[in-house]
C-alpha cells in the first residue's frame, strides 16, 4: 500500500485560468499570486513539519496539531510538494493522462497551445 501522492508523480494542481486580456491588463496580480504560491512552497520546504502544521492548523479545525504534523511529515517524506511553480510539459501531460483516465478530459491538449509566460 502506498500514498496516492507518492505514486501519482508531479501533478500541477495549483493553476489559474484567465483570458489573455486579463493577463495583459493585470500582470501584476498574476505575478503576485505566483510569488505568493512560491513563498508558500519555500516555507514548507524550509521548515519542519511541526512549524508547518502550526501555521496551517486553522485551516483544519477538526484535526489535532499532532495528527496534522504527522500528515505534513508524510508529505515531506514522499516529496509531495513541488519545489517551484514552474508548469512543465511533462507535468501537464501527466495531469491530462489522469484526467482522461477519470473521464474528465476527452483528448490531449498540446502544451504548445497553452498561453504560458514566465
Q: Which three cell numbers stand for residue 79?
A: 516529496
CA 71 to chain centre: 16
Q: Which residue has the higher pLDDT, 118 or 64?
A: 64
What is the spatial distance between Cα 116 and Cα 75, in angstroms, rounded to a whole number?
Answer: 28
Q: pLDDT (tens digit, 9 = 90+) per residue, 55-87?
A: 999 999 999 999 999 999 999 998 888 888 888
Q: pLDDT (tens digit, 9 = 90+) per residue, 33-54?
A: 999 999 999 999 999 999 999 9
What is the spatial distance between Cα 32 and Cα 28, in angstroms, rounded to a whole number?
Answer: 6
The answer on pLDDT for 13 being more than 80 is no
What does the domain layout of the chain look like in residue ranges?
20-82, 86-118
Query: Do 15 and 87 contact (CB within 8 A), yes or no?
Result: yes
pLDDT in the model for residue 61? 95
pLDDT in the model for residue 42? 97
CA angle 91/93/95 to nearest 5° reads: 70
Place 116 in a pLDDT band, splitting at 50, 70 and 90: low
DSSP 65-99: HHHHHHHHHHHHHTT-S-SS----HHHHHHHHHHH
Query: Do 26 and 113 contact (CB within 8 A), yes or no?
Result: no
pLDDT in the model for residue 82? 86
pTM of the model: 0.76
What is the spatial distance between Cα 32 and Cα 66, in angstroms, rounded to a whole number?
Answer: 32
Amino acid at each position: 500500500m502506498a500514498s496516492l501522492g507518492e505514486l501519482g508523480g508531479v501533478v500541477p494542481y495549483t493553476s489559474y485560468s484567465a483570458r489573455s486580456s486579463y493577463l495583459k491588463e493585470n500582470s501584476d496580480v498574476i505575478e503576485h499570486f505566483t510569488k505568493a504560491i512560491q513563498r508558500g512552497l519555500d516555507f514548507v520546504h524550509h521548515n519542519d513539519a511541526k512549524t508547518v502544521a502550526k501555521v496551517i492548523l486553522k485551516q483544519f479545525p477538526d484535526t489535532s496539531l499532532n495528527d496534522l504534523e504527522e500528515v505534513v511529515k508524510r508529505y515531506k517524506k514522499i516529496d509531495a510538494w513541488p519545489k517551484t511553480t514552474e508548469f512543465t510539459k511533462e507535468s501537464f501531460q501527466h495531469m491530462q493522462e489522469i484526467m482522461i483516465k477519470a473521464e474528465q478530459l476527452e483528448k490531449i491538449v498540446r502544451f504548445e497551445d497553452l498561453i504560458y509566460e514566465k
